[in-house]
Structure 1
Amino acid sequence: MSAFTPKRYQEQVLDSVQAYFQACHELPSPSIAFTATTERLWERGNPYYPLSGFPSDMPYFCLRVPTGGGKTWLAAKSVQLVNTHLLRCEHSVILWLVPSKPIREQTLKALKNRVHPYHAALREAGPISVLDLDEAKSITRATLDTSTTIIVATRQAFQVEEEECRKVYQSSGALMHHFDNLSPTQRDALLRDGEGTERTTPYSLANVLRLRRPFVIVDEAHNSRTELAFDMLARFRPSGVMELTATPDLERTPSNVLHSVCAAELKAEEMIKLPVLLQTEPNWQQCLADAIGRREALHQLAAEECRAGAPYLRPLVLIQSEPRRAGVETLDFERLKNELISNHNIPANEIVLATGEEKGLEQIEADYPLGIADPVCPVKFVITQKALAEGWDCPFAYILVSMASLSSATAVEQLLGRVLRQPGASHRQAKALNQSYAFVVSRNFAETAGTLRDRLVAGAGFEKREVAEFVTAAQTEQARLDLEGHAGRVMVRPVTITLPEKPDLKSVPKPVRDKVRWDGKLNTLTISTPLTEDEAEALSASVQSATAAAAIVQAAEVSRTTAIEFFQTPAELGVRFGVPQLALRVQGELTLFDDPEVLDYPWDLSPYDAAPTADDLSLLGAGLKVAEGGVIDVDNASGRVMARFLPELQRDLGLVYQPEHWDAIRLATWLCRNLPEPSLTHASKQAFVAAWLTDLLRRDGFNLGRANLQKFLIRHLLEARIRDLRQQAVSKAYQQALFGSDAASRVAVTDQHAFEFHAQAYAPSRDYDGRFGHFDFRKHFYGRIGDFDSKEEFECACWLDIQAQQGRIEFWVRNLVRREGCSFFLQKADGRFYPDFLCQLSGSTDQPKAILAVEYKGADRWNSAEDDRLIGGLWAKLSEGRCRFVMLKDKRWDGIEEALN
């Protein structure tokens, strides 16, 4: 299997996890750390909701990743972060819970496969052991002491009525050795059987887990939000809980969403096929024929690209049939298969049935090495009824056909998930191969589009505001009926006609009745909301005369055509918006400057800098108190003594994982191996670590035993020191390269490296919700607008939009922060600067139009923004007039005025 290259959004998810784990140790509690971390990452701190039945300060958080975003890989990569930054131990126990047996088998197979990216991600934690629940019931202490152990199980396996669960709590001689030489503190923490003097401590897997304080990973966590599920987890005394889901619970038992990935980020990173082009057709045979025609067109495009060197691709159609019903003729799988064979000449071997009765997909997996994606496999159509087999995944699926009018929510969500995934996670040359398709038997396009959008929100994890642009009409005439898809950007003019008679509105279905109004004095009928052809037919039946009926039909046609005026954003109109970025000349070629590591700077560690600081010694002293017995606090309100969660956890883990007695050389070697810093030579890192450790061991109260016990904390302190020294070297090189006397020969701003604001790649972590006031923005590049950090920023956006409406600016965009693929940035030595607004200025058509970047800073943050002003000014200077930069404060809009002239 080829090497796996993570997407930028995946790296950001993992950065967020690491930042939270580190904050858990730096701040008073994991709950405070959660709010502080989300505020630092997203500029608005999220409240922390503890889990009922668990310690209130147990680290508990959720990663929200839409369908197709790589949740399992993220979970596997997080294991190393758990060990290093949260538990601060070399080995741990990970309890990995999945929703079903098929998913369990699929996950186990991938995690154990040494060439699979999931296994490679796990191995970053060091030696690993991947077990199922049966294997875990005879696990040895040596395995737990020498490897990070991942136990993969279904959540149902721990429910009381399940036999597997009872075995988890039963005593087993194979586990007896885990309980030798336990301290009183450890024995007090174990579960017991019986009552009174007859109580015994079973040698059970449950008690082994309680000793080892497992970290729990919950896959598809939205399926585990019951009180029973939480009670089950609490019995194992977990060290923390991480949920992964596309659709977290935000109301009943709210998940603590640490990082939320948007579908637009997946689209920008070429992970999913968007938009979904929807077409409705009341005749089921015509609907199927249209889907077949679309598949053939896609197949031709794929074949042309394949001949030009692109990877093999055979577009598939997933057809959702109706269930069989006794005595009633339905569009069941047999009837659809016959239609494909008899009326469309589709060979039988190109059709596979995947229903409760037919196991065609399992047979395909058995017959072909690459399953349905194998070039030798002939299958082009998959007919299912409710849902496909769990775990089945084929990015070749392009077209969803529903004969059931999207009535089965679960099936539609699952089939959509199959269709959305991008083959090979990379875009194809043909635009049509980067989109998904849905054909539905229905007379009402608007209703069908709304249902499909709901399914993307409820099942695939899309944001409510982004689905409008991700489900679009394949046909122009149907697009006009999609008012929801143009929410806030459509004007509907009421259509009024005079009739010779009063219509019998009581005979009309209520949905149609709600769209019209009769005025008895004027004898006029007003259509306030567009009517479909079917609705017009129903309304025309409410009058007797042919003249009145014809007038209603004609007025209805006007209501859904010329009476609708759409306001389209520049993005929807296909306007290109590219912003030149900073480029650095490396070995004679211009390269996008997106990482200060590309700078040529002398960097080495000197043993003279290797000494623990006073803060380091203070942290080590506090850490020793934890290891010796935990830190306790007194609740001022009740006077009760309270143990803090993380100190107690560190104590428990220290009791279980007894440190080996290493000498100074072995300890230094371990520290070097666990300090990833590719820019350093091994010799310089080794010399630095040895000098730092030698200095520490000379101090009173420090010896090898203590250093060995605290080696993870020492590793953390060394990492911080090395990072600080490297940052100093980078900053010096950055200053010289970008602001030295010969900077113009090394740095440039040209269209050769320009950031493109793509039409469907705008993914705010929060949309503006009107909290600072309401304004009818007419000139924003996208239909959505990212949230503002302050009322002054909102007022700045209003001012820009007014200038645009007056013709001084063509359009503007609220630039996003830390949204890869959606954000323009300027690289600094210690991070990235994301200007608040980018504006396309008006100008002549014979030369590139100027770009204006605007940053608003509150007076309290003005002095700390000096680096932002410098890099913004340099960007504008090097662009030779193409780009302009303004940083404002105190609502001094006159600063923008100057830049517009």
Structure 2
Amino acid sequence: MSLPVFSLKNYQLQTIASLRRFLEKTVELNDADTAFYALTKRPFFQPPGLPGLPYVCLRVPTGGGKTILAAHSIAVAADAFLRCDNPTVLWLVPSDTIREQTLATLSSRAHPNRRALADRFGENVRVMTIQDALYAKRADYDGGAVVIVATIQAFRVEKTEGRKVYEANGELMDHFSGIAKEQRAILEAGPSGDPLPSLANVLRMRRPMVIVDEAHNARTDLSFDTLGRLSPSLIVELTATPVTPDEHKPEKGIYASNVLHHVSAAELKAEEMIKLPVILRGRADPRDTISDAMAWLDELSATARAEENITGEFVRPVMLLQAEPRSKEKPTLHADEVKKLLVDDFRVPEEHIVIATGDSKGLDGVDLFDRDCKVRFIITQQALKEGWDCSFAYVLCSVAEQKSARAVEQLLGRVLRLPHAKRKHHEDLNRAFAFATTTSFQNAANTLRDGLVNNGFERVEAQALVRAVAEPLHGLEPGGLAHLHEEAVPFELDFQAFEKNIHTLTGGRVEFDAERQVIRARGALTDYDKTALLLALPDAAAGMVEALVHKSRGARLKSIGEEQDAIRFAVPRLAVKTAHGLQLFDRGHFLDIPWKLENDDPAHIMDFFVPPRQAREEAHVDVDQSGHVNVEFVTDLHEQLMLNLQERGWTKNALVNWLDRRLPFTARRDITRISSTLFISKALDLISAQTGMSLEALARAKFRLVEALVKVIAKHRDGRETQAFQQALIPQGGLDFKTSAELELVFEESRYAYREPYKGRTDFRKHLFRVIGDLEPTGEEHECAVYLERMPEVKAWVRNTSQQPNSFWLQTATDKFYPDFVALLSDGRVLVIEYKGAPYFTNDDSKEKRLVGELWADRSGGSCIFAMIEGKEFSRIDAAIRKGG
């Protein structure tokens, strides 16, 4: 049976690519510190007791899929850094609950986490607990990837399980037979002086890659001491809330994270992973808060049914109610009281409610995704069961006034995930909703924003992503007559019977005015109120009940959080006329596919391949300022891992096929397998002839060969693509170009993605969206943005972010080109600006961008303008507008 295809999101691919670049750079420079600075331009914080260790953080907000990224990082580390087929991985998690969940996903062959390992290691994957590892044999490690999932506490010697890690264990004796003296030297010795046959020593020999999930919980001296005893090869931490450089206080045992890559909330939103924005409503009375939240949950449920009629996708919105803690000093709305309130005052059936607190396990065994599940209300206090996740949770309702962001942090994270990671047709189903009991609406909004920050969002993003709507749900002031909604009664009504059956059942939200003969609703009526009315009144009242419920919820209810007077900003894109209609111009229009790589000269591989012996000698020649020779981390690591390696007998064909399989997709995307294997075979012959390396020596250097092959193929491809691209753009190239609105890109705030939000002080009022992405607060690009902002001809502009799925791009010879700014002019024309510093204005890359940008403008029929600005010559923008007009 074939498994469904699982594809990483764009931001996930970029996160993995960042890790790959760092690890490759670390090998190239033989130094993690220098590699980190080269890629990030930020200082590297070396963890205590782990000199030279590559230790980096991937910062991913709640809902971003940290576990799948961790699974994919193993193959990246094996190829780009460890250069082995049998990595040992220690996967550390914060709790036993998360450990069980992680083990389950990594063990299931149908799960994307396991398939991320299978794509690289096939069936040669062993997933273990600590208990399994205490009995695992040497062949288990030699045969493929080993992943040990545990909590960091399990490796602390004061714990019973931890002691077993460091104690002699006869089950592990075969790991230590016939080992080299270099290996013996790095192992902890027993009383006899021989290496102790412990699991800790097995790991020290294997130099494990360590993955730390929710790493902010594991950055203490004790944790680093524990990790140091296991001699890791690298550490990759994944968290939403890393320790920042400002919090770095080694004297207090607090160490900053080395954030290599940061995923923004906007990237998650654009990739349809999370519900945003969060719409906040506040009321002073907890019963009013619950009433509003229930009414909106009813509306969302109706919207979800309408969505299912369109798409077939089943969603049943659920509410999380945050109760107060119990108190001996004063009465509180604790979990049991909230349940009683729901049942007695709001007539909610008990089967629709579960309590999930530390003492109550109401969610155990409940499948909220089951169509027949009746649960709609989950009452908790501060934390749900660790690892609990249900994307059907849409509404967060707090009956207590929250003054601490930590109090709402975890629950807020529970309502952010978008069901099935797929954007809905109805906009309300793409949002999360918070109803707060508060006497200070501003404080409630700030607390909610702080909760987003604690879930890994930037503060600037949080300010824009919490839409605090101060007026009540119904658009009228609470408590006054305007808050009452009424309908005339078209029949005789027994007031006393009504008072007894309805007024009480609805908690006073429905009453009868006998003098005026009207039924009146005080506040929003829920579906439960509606049902009570329909059952208590004659069939003739159905229309009146519907009208009353609708009025009570407010005619503007469906407009919660919707934007007013939004500017539609659409950009025509460059297309090619073909027999099949217009097609976006991309690399497929100027490249012959497949590419016959075997016809290219393999001699250039010697520009990139360094034989291991030479590289090893060069790596050790490194003297610091005091004259001491440094032993370099990466070189020592590779030498130690080689001692564990038992190479099989290789044939040339086997090595060629192995190398071909290891070429990443980016290297072989337009090459047939026959072409790549022929080229690899020629390259091996050439290397052997020039270096004298035997087939066995080439096999030992196979990861170096992969690296060199990727680089030489890229060099050949660059030359081929540049020539083909330039040929395609000239009039004689045979392509019929048109810049067409038929293939337009529409800028939408919900799909606007960026890495970092703008944090400068300039107030940009013409930017299309609340948050500006990837714009430094100072510098020449910032000055260009200010110039655009002040131009009277500009109606709106967008900072066009690079490599995001919904940004505007033009094809160049080798990749996509993302101009810096796109502006909508008052006369309807579109202006695209690429800013270049003076040193880069005339290089080949800029020439290509100018060429395709001017073609895009030329084929638009005057509706589009392209300007490449050099230095601070912003007057060229004015000239381009006048010329285009």
TM range (shorter): 0.7 to 0.9
Residue 164 of structure 1 aligns to a residue in which SS?
A: helix
Residue 642 of structure 1 aligns to a residue in which SS?
A: coil
Structure 1 partner of 2:698: 707
Structure 1 partner of 2:740: 750
Matches of 1:124 and 1:318, distance apart in 2: 38
Structure 2 partner of 1:489: none
CA contact (8 A) 1:125 1:148 kept: no
Q: 2:613 aligns with which of 616, 624, 646?
A: 624
CA contact (8 A) 1:571 1:758 kept: no
Residue 124 of structure 1: CA displacement? 2.2
Residue 707 of structure 1: CA displacement? 0.5
Structure 2 partner of 1:242: 236
Equivalent residue letter for 1:438 = A
Q: 1:886 aligns with which of 854, 858, 867?
A: 867
Written as runs of structure 1 = structure 2, the 5 A alignment for 1:267-416 is 267-326=269-328, 328-364=330-366, 371-407=367-403, 409-416=405-412
Residue 670 of structure 1: CA displacement? 1.2
CA contact (8 A) 1:601 1:729 kept: no
Equivalent residue letter for 2:819 = P
In the alignment, structure 1 residue 201 sits paired with structure 2 residue 201: no
Matches of 1:453 and 1:147, distance apart in 2: 45
Number of paired residues? 780
In the alignment, structure 1 residue 226 sits paired with structure 2 residue 210: no
Matches of 1:768 and 1:440, distance apart in 2: 29
Residue 882 of structure 1: CA displacement? 1.4
Matches of 1:748 and 1:603, distance apart in 2: 27
Q: 1:873 aligns with which of 851, 854, 864?
A: 854
Equivalent residue letter for 2:353 = I
Residue 409 of structure 1: CA displacement? 4.3
In the alignment, structure 1 residue 815 sits paired with structure 2 residue 800: yes
Structure 2 partner of 1:779: 766
Matches of 1:479 and 1:49, distance apart in 2: 52
Q: 2:149 aligns with which of 148, 152, 156?
A: 152
What CA deviation, in whole Å up to 9, does each residue of 1:665-696 have, x standing for no partner? 22112112222424332222222222222232
Matches of 1:306 and 1:778, distance apart in 2: 39
Q: 1:129 aligns with which of 126, 129, 144?
A: 126
CA contact (8 A) 2:449 2:466 kept: yes
CA contact (8 A) 1:17 1:78 kept: yes
Which stretch has the larger CA shift, 383-392 or 671-680? Answer: 671-680
In the alignment, structure 1 residue 659 sits paired with structure 2 residue 647: yes
Residue 125 of structure 1: CA displacement? 2.5
Written as runs of structure 1 = structure 2, the 5 A alignment for 1:596-607 is 596=588, 599-601=591-593, 603-606=595-598
Q: 1:898 aligns with which of 874, 879, 885?
A: 879
Q: 2:445 aligns with which of 446, 449, 459?
A: 449
Equivalent residue letter for 1:437 = F
Matches of 2:400 and 2:134, distance apart in 1: 46
CA contact (8 A) 1:93 1:212 kept: yes
Equivalent residue letter for 1:451 = T
Give the alignment's TM-score, normalised by structure 2: 0.84
Structure 2 partner of 1:211: 205
Equivalent residue letter for 2:794 = I
In the alignment, structure 1 residue 578 sits paired with structure 2 residue 563: no
Which stretch has the larger CA shift, 227-236 or 601-610? Answer: 601-610
Q: 2:55 aligns with which of 60, 66, 69?
A: 60
Matches of 2:128 and 2:753, distance apart in 1: 38
Matches of 1:761 and 1:586, distance apart in 2: 30
Residue 732 of structure 2 aligns to a residue in which SS?
A: coil
CA contact (8 A) 1:601 1:733 kept: no
CA contact (8 A) 1:316 1:380 kept: yes
Which stretch has the larger CA shift, 352-361 or 278-287? Answer: 352-361
Written as runs of structure 1 = structure 2, the 5 A alignment for 1:160-175 is 160-175=157-172
Matches of 1:173 and 1:789, distance apart in 2: 62
What CA deviation, in whole Å up to 9, does each residue of 1:587-624 have, x standing for no partner? 6143444665895545112256234643245x12xx22
Give the alignment's TM-score, normalised by structure 1: 0.83
Matches of 2:600 and 2:746, distance apart in 1: 47
Residue 578 of structure 1 aligns to a residue in which SS?
A: strand
Identity %, equivalent residues: 40
In the alignment, structure 1 residue 639 sits paired with structure 2 residue 639: no
CA contact (8 A) 1:98 1:104 kept: yes
Unaligned runs of 5+ in 1: 39-44, 365-370, 481-569, 844-848
Matches of 2:153 and 2:583, distance apart in 1: 52
Task: Provide closer, same or farther for how the CA distance between residues 432 and 360 of structure 1 changes in structure 2, counting only shifts above 3 A.
Answer: same
CA contact (8 A) 2:595 2:672 kept: no
Equivalent residue letter for 1:815 = N
In the alignment, structure 1 residue 834 sits paired with structure 2 residue 818: yes
CA contact (8 A) 1:571 1:781 kept: no
Residue 575 of structure 1 aligns to a residue in which SS?
A: coil
Task: Provide closer, same or farther for how the CA distance between residues 156 and 28 of structure 1 changes in structure 2, counting only shifts above 3 A.
Answer: closer
Residue 50 of structure 1: CA displacement? 1.3
CA contact (8 A) 1:287 1:441 kept: yes
Give RMSD over aligned pairs.
2.5
Task: Provide closer, same or farther for how the CA distance between residues 882 and 601 of structure 1 changes in structure 2, counting only shifts above 3 A.
Answer: farther
Residue 763 of structure 1: CA displacement? 4.7
Structure 2 partner of 1:77: 72
Unaligned runs of 5+ in 2: 249-254, 476-561
CA contact (8 A) 1:173 1:203 kept: yes
Equivalent residue letter for 1:724 = K
Matches of 1:451 and 1:595, distance apart in 2: 48
Matches of 2:853 and 2:471, distance apart in 1: 43
Residue 363 of structure 1 aligns to a residue in which SS?
A: coil
Written as runs of structure 1 = structure 2, the 5 A alignment for 1:848-867 is 849-864=828-843, 865-867=846-848
In the alignment, structure 1 residue 798 sits paired with structure 2 residue 786: yes
CA contact (8 A) 2:576 2:582 kept: yes
Matches of 1:79 and 1:30, distance apart in 2: 18
Residue 636 of structure 1: CA displacement? 3.9
Residue 48 of structure 1: CA displacement? 1.6
CA contact (8 A) 1:317 1:397 kept: yes
CA contact (8 A) 1:815 1:824 kept: yes
